[in-house]
């Protein structure tokens, strides 16, 4: 099955965000998790503030960013818990 251009956009944005987060937060710290929580809260609000309609491209980019943040935060939480 061929990947649609929206799926390709999603994967590109997701992978770029995860790579960026790995560079910014190389170590699992409580401070990193707090910062990621703040970013997620911002993006959840941003996602909901769609009163003029962003369209499929922007919705896809925001969804990929949120999922990357959630997955990376979960990864850091596991590392932090493991190191205790």
Residue that the structure tokens 């990929």 belong to: 64
Tell me the pLDDT band of 39, cut-offs 50, 70 and 90. Answer: very high
In which band, very low, low, confident or very high, does the pLDDT at 50 lie, cut at 50, 70 and 90? confident
pLDDT of residue 2: 59
Query: If pLDDT is split at 50, 70 and 90, which confidence band does 51 have?
Result: confident
- pTM score above 0.85: yes
- Tell me what percent of the residues of the chain surpass a pLDDT of 90: 81
* pLDDT average, residue stretch 28-55: 92
Q: Alpha carbon of 33 to those of 4, 11, 49, 67: distances in Å? A: 33, 23, 24, 15
């Amino acid at each position: 099955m061929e990947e649609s251009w929206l799926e390709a956009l999603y994967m590109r944005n997701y992978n770029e965000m995860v790579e960026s987060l790995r560079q910014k937060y190389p170590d699992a710290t409580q401070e990193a998790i707090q910062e990621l929580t703040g970013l997620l809260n911002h993006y959840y609000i941003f996602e909901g503030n769609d009163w003029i309609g962003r369209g499929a491209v922007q919705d896809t980019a925001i969804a990929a960013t949120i999922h990357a943040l959630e997955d990376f935060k979960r990864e850091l939480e596991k590392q932090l818990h493991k190191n205790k």
